[in-house]
Structure 1
Amino acid sequence: MDIADYIAGLTGKTVQQLFGGSSPLVVVLREGDTHRIAHWDASLGEQVPTSEQLDAIATAPMSQAALVAYANSTQWALVVGGKAVTIGGRTITFSTTPESMTLMNGVAARQSRPNPPATINWQIGPTEFVALAATDFLAAATTVSDWVQALFDALPPIFAGIADGSIITTAQIDAALAAVG
Protein backbone atom coordinates (compact mmCIF):
# COMPACT_ATOMS: atom_id res chain seq x y z
CA MET A 1 0.00 0.00 0.00
CA ASP A 2 1.28 3.47 -0.77
CA ILE A 3 0.59 6.71 1.05
CA ALA A 4 -2.12 7.83 -1.39
CA ASP A 5 -4.00 4.53 -1.07
CA TYR A 6 -3.65 4.63 2.73
CA ILE A 7 -5.13 8.13 2.92
CA ALA A 8 -7.90 7.15 0.47
CA GLY A 9 -8.81 4.21 2.72
CA LEU A 10 -8.67 6.40 5.81
CA THR A 11 -10.93 9.11 4.37
CA GLY A 12 -13.24 7.11 2.10
CA LYS A 13 -12.28 9.33 -0.85
CA THR A 14 -10.60 8.27 -4.08
CA VAL A 15 -6.97 9.11 -4.76
CA GLN A 16 -8.16 11.43 -7.56
CA GLN A 17 -10.54 13.24 -5.21
CA LEU A 18 -7.79 13.67 -2.64
CA PHE A 19 -4.80 14.58 -4.76
CA GLY A 20 -6.18 15.59 -8.16
CA GLY A 21 -7.14 18.90 -9.61
CA SER A 22 -5.88 22.36 -8.92
CA SER A 23 -7.01 22.37 -5.28
CA PRO A 24 -6.09 19.00 -3.75
CA LEU A 25 -7.65 18.05 -0.43
CA VAL A 26 -4.32 16.60 0.76
CA VAL A 27 -0.73 17.58 0.08
CA VAL A 28 2.02 15.25 1.28
CA LEU A 29 5.60 16.49 1.29
CA ARG A 30 8.66 14.29 1.25
CA GLU A 31 11.82 15.68 2.80
CA GLY A 32 14.53 13.05 2.49
CA ASP A 33 13.08 9.91 4.05
CA THR A 34 10.48 11.81 6.06
CA HIS A 35 6.92 12.42 4.92
CA ARG A 36 4.50 14.95 6.35
CA ILE A 37 1.07 16.34 5.63
CA ALA A 38 1.47 19.89 4.34
CA HIS A 39 -2.25 20.40 3.73
CA TRP A 40 -5.23 18.49 5.11
CA ASP A 41 -8.65 19.79 4.13
CA ALA A 42 -10.94 20.23 7.12
CA SER A 43 -13.69 18.30 5.30
CA LEU A 44 -11.61 15.12 5.78
CA GLY A 45 -11.98 15.18 9.55
CA GLU A 46 -9.43 15.43 12.33
CA GLN A 47 -7.69 12.05 11.90
CA VAL A 48 -4.54 13.40 10.20
CA PRO A 49 -1.85 10.73 9.68
CA THR A 50 1.39 11.37 11.54
CA SER A 51 4.80 11.54 9.89
CA GLU A 52 5.65 8.23 11.58
CA GLN A 53 2.62 6.53 10.02
CA LEU A 54 3.40 7.95 6.58
CA ASP A 55 7.07 6.93 6.81
CA ALA A 56 6.12 3.37 7.79
CA ILE A 57 3.78 3.12 4.80
CA ALA A 58 6.35 4.62 2.44
CA THR A 59 9.01 2.10 3.41
CA ALA A 60 6.74 -0.95 3.37
CA PRO A 61 7.25 -3.16 0.34
CA MET A 62 4.71 -2.65 -2.42
CA SER A 63 2.82 -5.53 -3.95
CA GLN A 64 3.46 -6.47 -7.56
CA ALA A 65 -0.02 -5.22 -8.43
CA ALA A 66 0.71 -1.86 -6.80
CA LEU A 67 4.03 -1.60 -8.65
CA VAL A 68 2.31 -2.36 -11.97
CA ALA A 69 -0.35 0.26 -11.23
CA TYR A 70 2.35 2.76 -10.30
CA ALA A 71 4.30 2.01 -13.51
CA ASN A 72 1.18 2.46 -15.63
CA SER A 73 0.07 5.70 -13.99
CA THR A 74 3.57 7.20 -13.97
CA GLN A 75 4.17 6.26 -17.60
CA TRP A 76 0.81 7.71 -18.65
CA ALA A 77 1.49 10.95 -16.77
CA LEU A 78 4.73 11.26 -18.75
CA VAL A 79 2.99 10.39 -22.03
CA VAL A 80 0.40 13.16 -21.66
CA GLY A 81 2.70 15.62 -19.89
CA GLY A 82 4.23 17.18 -23.00
CA LYS A 83 7.58 16.93 -24.73
CA ALA A 84 10.11 19.75 -25.11
CA VAL A 85 11.82 19.93 -28.50
CA THR A 86 14.49 22.41 -29.51
CA ILE A 87 13.96 23.96 -32.94
CA GLY A 88 16.36 26.61 -34.20
CA GLY A 89 17.69 27.25 -30.72
CA ARG A 90 14.22 27.68 -29.21
CA THR A 91 12.76 25.08 -26.88
CA ILE A 92 9.10 24.44 -27.58
CA THR A 93 6.96 22.18 -25.42
CA PHE A 94 4.47 20.24 -27.50
CA SER A 95 1.32 18.95 -25.84
CA THR A 96 1.17 15.16 -25.94
CA THR A 97 -2.42 14.54 -24.96
CA PRO A 98 -4.17 12.04 -27.24
CA GLU A 99 -6.03 14.92 -28.88
CA SER A 100 -2.83 16.87 -29.53
CA MET A 101 -1.07 13.80 -30.87
CA THR A 102 -3.96 13.20 -33.28
CA LEU A 103 -3.77 16.79 -34.51
CA MET A 104 0.02 16.60 -34.84
CA ASN A 105 -0.21 13.37 -36.84
CA GLY A 106 -2.88 14.90 -39.08
CA VAL A 107 -0.73 17.93 -39.84
CA ALA A 108 2.26 15.67 -40.50
CA ALA A 109 0.18 13.49 -42.84
CA ARG A 110 -1.01 16.60 -44.71
CA GLN A 111 2.60 17.26 -45.68
CA SER A 112 2.58 14.16 -47.91
CA ARG A 113 -0.34 15.44 -50.01
CA PRO A 114 -0.27 17.90 -52.93
CA ASN A 115 0.46 21.56 -52.16
CA PRO A 116 1.30 21.21 -48.46
CA PRO A 117 1.73 24.39 -46.44
CA ALA A 118 5.33 25.58 -46.07
CA THR A 119 4.63 26.96 -42.59
CA ILE A 120 2.70 25.42 -39.73
CA ASN A 121 1.15 27.67 -37.08
CA TRP A 122 1.07 25.52 -33.94
CA GLN A 123 -0.59 26.50 -30.70
CA ILE A 124 1.75 26.04 -27.72
CA GLY A 125 -0.20 27.89 -25.04
CA PRO A 126 -3.66 29.27 -24.38
CA THR A 127 -2.97 32.31 -26.59
CA GLU A 128 0.51 31.55 -27.91
CA PHE A 129 1.33 30.22 -31.36
CA VAL A 130 4.61 29.47 -33.06
CA ALA A 131 5.16 29.52 -36.82
CA LEU A 132 7.31 26.57 -37.84
CA ALA A 133 8.74 25.64 -41.20
CA ALA A 134 7.03 22.45 -42.32
CA THR A 135 10.36 20.57 -42.21
CA ASP A 136 10.92 21.70 -38.60
CA PHE A 137 7.40 20.70 -37.65
CA LEU A 138 7.86 17.25 -39.20
CA ALA A 139 11.14 16.79 -37.33
CA ALA A 140 9.46 17.84 -34.06
CA ALA A 141 6.46 15.59 -34.70
CA THR A 142 8.80 12.67 -35.34
CA THR A 143 10.76 13.39 -32.16
CA VAL A 144 7.57 13.64 -30.10
CA SER A 145 6.02 10.49 -31.60
CA ASP A 146 9.24 8.49 -31.12
CA TRP A 147 9.47 9.65 -27.50
CA VAL A 148 5.86 8.66 -26.77
CA GLN A 149 6.46 5.25 -28.35
CA ALA A 150 9.65 4.84 -26.31
CA LEU A 151 7.61 5.40 -23.14
CA PHE A 152 5.28 2.58 -24.18
CA ASP A 153 8.25 0.40 -25.13
CA ALA A 154 9.68 0.93 -21.63
CA LEU A 155 6.71 -0.73 -19.91
CA PRO A 156 7.17 -4.43 -20.91
CA PRO A 157 10.70 -4.64 -19.42
CA ILE A 158 9.45 -2.87 -16.28
CA PHE A 159 6.58 -5.36 -15.98
CA ALA A 160 9.01 -8.25 -16.50
CA GLY A 161 11.26 -6.85 -13.75
CA ILE A 162 8.30 -6.55 -11.40
CA ALA A 163 7.28 -10.14 -12.18
CA ASP A 164 10.78 -11.58 -11.65
CA GLY A 165 11.45 -9.51 -8.52
CA SER A 166 14.27 -7.39 -9.93
CA ILE A 167 12.09 -4.26 -9.69
CA ILE A 168 10.69 -3.80 -6.19
CA THR A 169 10.54 -0.03 -5.71
CA THR A 170 8.92 2.96 -7.35
CA ALA A 171 12.39 4.53 -7.59
CA GLN A 172 13.45 1.73 -9.94
CA ILE A 173 10.38 2.35 -12.07
CA ASP A 174 11.04 6.09 -12.08
CA ALA A 175 14.65 5.48 -13.17
CA ALA A 176 13.59 3.15 -15.99
CA LEU A 177 11.09 5.69 -17.31
CA ALA A 178 13.53 8.59 -16.86
CA ALA A 179 16.03 6.71 -19.04
CA VAL A 180 13.64 7.26 -21.97
CA GLY A 181 14.62 10.94 -21.89
Structure 2
Amino acid sequence: AEGRYNHCAVALDNSTGYRSSSACSEIYIVGGCKVYSDVEIFDTVSLRWKTKGAEEKHCIPEDMRRSNAATVVLKDRYLVVVGGYYGEEGSLAASSGCLIYDCLFHRWSEPPSISSLDSLITARAFHTAAVLGENIVVAGGRNSVYKRLTSMELIDIDDLLEYSPVVYPLPTFHFNQILQIGRPTGAMTYSDETRQATNKRKE
Protein backbone atom coordinates (compact mmCIF):
# COMPACT_ATOMS: atom_id res chain seq x y z
CA ALA A 1 0.00 0.00 0.00
CA GLU A 2 1.05 3.56 -0.72
CA GLY A 3 1.13 6.30 1.89
CA ARG A 4 -1.64 8.83 1.35
CA TYR A 5 -3.81 11.33 3.23
CA ASN A 6 -7.19 13.07 2.78
CA HIS A 7 -8.45 9.86 1.17
CA CYS A 8 -11.68 7.87 1.57
CA ALA A 9 -11.88 4.49 3.30
CA VAL A 10 -14.96 2.28 3.49
CA ALA A 11 -15.61 -1.36 4.41
CA LEU A 12 -17.49 -3.66 2.05
CA ASP A 13 -18.93 -7.04 3.07
CA ASN A 14 -18.52 -9.67 0.35
CA SER A 15 -20.68 -12.24 2.13
CA THR A 16 -23.87 -11.12 0.37
CA GLY A 17 -23.33 -13.38 -2.62
CA TYR A 18 -22.53 -10.92 -5.39
CA ARG A 19 -19.17 -12.63 -5.79
CA SER A 20 -18.28 -16.28 -6.15
CA SER A 21 -15.37 -16.01 -3.72
CA SER A 22 -15.59 -17.01 -0.07
CA ALA A 23 -17.16 -14.58 2.37
CA CYS A 24 -14.84 -11.85 3.53
CA SER A 25 -14.76 -8.17 4.32
CA GLU A 26 -12.59 -5.70 2.47
CA ILE A 27 -11.63 -2.09 3.10
CA TYR A 28 -11.51 0.07 -0.04
CA ILE A 29 -9.15 3.07 -0.13
CA VAL A 30 -9.75 5.64 -2.88
CA GLY A 31 -8.52 9.12 -3.75
CA GLY A 32 -6.50 11.36 -1.49
CA CYS A 33 -3.65 13.81 -2.03
CA LYS A 34 -1.88 13.74 -4.43
CA VAL A 35 -5.25 12.83 -6.00
CA TYR A 36 -4.50 9.15 -6.59
CA SER A 37 -6.06 7.22 -9.47
CA ASP A 38 -5.87 3.65 -8.17
CA VAL A 39 -8.06 1.74 -5.73
CA GLU A 40 -6.31 -0.07 -2.88
CA ILE A 41 -8.11 -2.91 -1.10
CA PHE A 42 -7.23 -4.39 2.29
CA ASP A 43 -8.54 -7.91 2.88
CA THR A 44 -9.34 -8.20 6.60
CA VAL A 45 -9.23 -12.01 6.44
CA SER A 46 -5.85 -12.56 4.75
CA LEU A 47 -4.52 -9.23 6.12
CA ARG A 48 -3.08 -8.41 2.71
CA TRP A 49 -3.25 -5.43 0.37
CA LYS A 50 -4.12 -5.52 -3.31
CA THR A 51 -4.30 -2.69 -5.82
CA LYS A 52 -6.86 -2.17 -8.57
CA GLY A 53 -4.84 0.15 -10.73
CA ALA A 54 -2.33 -2.00 -12.56
CA GLU A 55 -4.71 -2.00 -15.54
CA GLU A 56 -5.89 1.32 -16.98
CA LYS A 57 -9.53 0.19 -16.94
CA HIS A 58 -9.45 -0.07 -13.13
CA CYS A 59 -8.05 3.44 -12.58
CA ILE A 60 -10.10 6.50 -11.77
CA PRO A 61 -10.13 8.58 -14.99
CA GLU A 62 -7.86 11.60 -14.64
CA ASP A 63 -10.69 14.14 -14.76
CA MET A 64 -12.61 12.25 -12.04
CA ARG A 65 -9.93 11.98 -9.32
CA ARG A 66 -10.91 13.31 -5.91
CA SER A 67 -9.49 14.14 -2.49
CA ASN A 68 -11.25 15.20 0.74
CA ALA A 69 -14.44 13.51 -0.47
CA ALA A 70 -16.99 11.37 1.40
CA THR A 71 -17.75 7.75 0.51
CA VAL A 72 -20.70 5.42 1.07
CA VAL A 73 -21.48 1.85 -0.05
CA LEU A 74 -24.78 1.03 -1.74
CA LYS A 75 -26.28 -2.47 -2.08
CA ASP A 76 -22.98 -4.02 -0.88
CA ARG A 77 -21.64 -3.48 -4.39
CA TYR A 78 -21.38 0.17 -5.39
CA LEU A 79 -18.88 2.53 -3.83
CA VAL A 80 -20.05 6.14 -4.23
CA VAL A 81 -17.62 9.03 -3.86
CA VAL A 82 -19.50 12.25 -3.09
CA GLY A 83 -18.02 15.69 -3.78
CA GLY A 84 -14.41 16.39 -2.84
CA TYR A 85 -11.63 18.44 -4.40
CA TYR A 86 -10.38 17.87 -7.95
CA GLY A 87 -7.60 19.37 -10.07
CA GLU A 88 -3.90 19.92 -9.47
CA GLU A 89 -2.39 20.77 -6.10
CA GLY A 90 -2.48 24.52 -5.61
CA SER A 91 -5.52 24.96 -7.84
CA LEU A 92 -8.07 22.58 -6.34
CA ALA A 93 -11.81 23.21 -6.71
CA ALA A 94 -14.73 21.59 -4.90
CA SER A 95 -16.99 19.21 -6.83
CA SER A 96 -20.77 18.84 -6.64
CA GLY A 97 -20.79 15.52 -8.49
CA CYS A 98 -20.69 11.84 -7.53
CA LEU A 99 -18.49 9.01 -8.77
CA ILE A 100 -19.73 5.41 -8.80
CA TYR A 101 -17.37 2.44 -8.56
CA ASP A 102 -18.74 -1.03 -9.32
CA CYS A 103 -16.83 -3.35 -6.97
CA LEU A 104 -18.00 -6.37 -8.98
CA PHE A 105 -16.62 -5.33 -12.38
CA HIS A 106 -14.12 -2.69 -11.16
CA ARG A 107 -15.43 0.11 -13.37
CA TRP A 108 -16.03 3.81 -12.73
CA SER A 109 -18.80 6.10 -13.97
CA GLU A 110 -19.77 9.72 -13.36
CA PRO A 111 -23.45 10.74 -13.51
CA PRO A 112 -24.09 13.95 -15.46
CA SER A 113 -24.77 16.89 -13.14
CA ILE A 114 -28.17 17.67 -14.65
CA SER A 115 -30.38 17.18 -11.62
CA SER A 116 -30.20 17.93 -7.91
CA LEU A 117 -31.53 14.39 -7.38
CA ASP A 118 -28.23 12.75 -8.36
CA SER A 119 -25.72 15.51 -7.52
CA LEU A 120 -25.11 18.17 -4.90
CA ILE A 121 -26.56 21.67 -5.09
CA THR A 122 -23.47 23.08 -3.34
CA ALA A 123 -19.99 21.86 -4.29
CA ARG A 124 -18.15 20.79 -1.16
CA ALA A 125 -15.24 18.88 0.38
CA PHE A 126 -14.29 17.84 3.95
CA HIS A 127 -17.96 16.87 4.43
CA THR A 128 -19.64 13.73 5.75
CA ALA A 129 -22.09 11.37 4.06
CA ALA A 130 -24.31 8.52 5.24
CA VAL A 131 -27.05 6.32 3.81
CA LEU A 132 -30.49 6.92 5.30
CA GLY A 133 -33.38 5.01 3.75
CA GLU A 134 -33.55 5.76 0.02
CA ASN A 135 -31.18 8.73 0.21
CA ILE A 136 -27.57 9.67 0.78
CA VAL A 137 -27.39 12.42 3.40
CA VAL A 138 -24.53 14.88 2.91
CA ALA A 139 -23.69 17.47 5.58
CA GLY A 140 -21.17 20.21 6.30
CA GLY A 141 -17.77 20.62 4.69
CA ARG A 142 -16.06 23.50 2.90
CA ASN A 143 -16.51 25.04 -0.55
CA SER A 144 -13.84 25.97 -3.13
CA VAL A 145 -12.73 29.02 -1.11
CA TYR A 146 -12.61 26.97 2.12
CA LYS A 147 -15.72 28.60 3.56
CA ARG A 148 -17.42 26.39 6.13
CA LEU A 149 -20.80 25.02 5.08
CA THR A 150 -23.69 24.40 7.47
CA SER A 151 -26.14 23.03 4.89
CA MET A 152 -27.40 19.47 4.47
CA GLU A 153 -28.44 17.80 1.20
CA LEU A 154 -30.10 14.57 0.05
CA ILE A 155 -29.18 12.50 -3.02
CA ASP A 156 -31.77 10.02 -4.29
CA ILE A 157 -30.14 6.56 -4.44
CA ASP A 158 -32.37 5.14 -7.19
CA ASP A 159 -31.77 8.14 -9.46
CA LEU A 160 -28.03 7.96 -8.80
CA LEU A 161 -27.67 4.24 -9.55
CA GLU A 162 -29.31 4.65 -12.94
CA TYR A 163 -25.86 5.91 -13.95
CA SER A 164 -23.92 2.98 -12.48
CA PRO A 165 -21.25 1.46 -14.76
CA VAL A 166 -22.53 -0.91 -17.46
CA VAL A 167 -20.19 -3.67 -18.61
CA TYR A 168 -20.64 -5.49 -21.93
CA PRO A 169 -20.12 -8.27 -22.71
CA LEU A 170 -20.58 -9.82 -19.28
CA PRO A 171 -17.79 -12.06 -17.93
CA THR A 172 -18.44 -15.76 -18.53
CA PHE A 173 -18.96 -16.52 -14.83
CA HIS A 174 -22.11 -14.35 -14.94
CA PHE A 175 -23.76 -15.86 -18.01
CA ASN A 176 -26.05 -18.01 -15.84
CA GLN A 177 -27.43 -15.03 -13.91
CA ILE A 178 -29.81 -12.16 -14.53
CA LEU A 179 -28.42 -8.79 -13.46
CA GLN A 180 -31.00 -6.12 -12.68
CA ILE A 181 -30.12 -2.69 -14.04
CA GLY A 182 -32.09 0.41 -13.13
CA ARG A 183 -35.27 0.43 -11.07
CA PRO A 184 -38.91 -0.75 -11.47
CA THR A 185 -41.07 1.25 -13.90
CA GLY A 186 -44.36 0.77 -15.71
CA ALA A 187 -42.60 -1.24 -18.40
CA MET A 188 -43.96 -4.49 -19.85
CA THR A 189 -42.81 -7.66 -18.10
CA TYR A 190 -43.40 -11.39 -18.59
CA SER A 191 -44.90 -13.90 -16.20
CA ASP A 192 -43.01 -17.15 -15.75
CA GLU A 193 -46.31 -18.97 -15.21
CA THR A 194 -48.30 -17.74 -18.20
CA ARG A 195 -45.49 -16.71 -20.54
CA GLN A 196 -47.70 -13.80 -21.49
CA ALA A 197 -46.87 -10.14 -21.37
CA THR A 198 -48.36 -8.19 -18.49
CA ASN A 199 -48.13 -4.57 -17.48
CA LYS A 200 -46.83 -3.88 -13.99
CA ARG A 201 -47.42 -0.37 -12.83
CA LYS A 202 -45.58 1.26 -9.99
CA GLU A 203 -48.00 1.84 -7.13
Normalising by the residue count of structure 2, what TM-score does the alignment of the two structures yield?
0.22
Greater relative CO (CA pairs within 8 A, separation 6+): 1
Considering only CA atoms, is the larger Rg found in Structure 1 or Structure 2?
1
Larger helix fraction of residues: 1
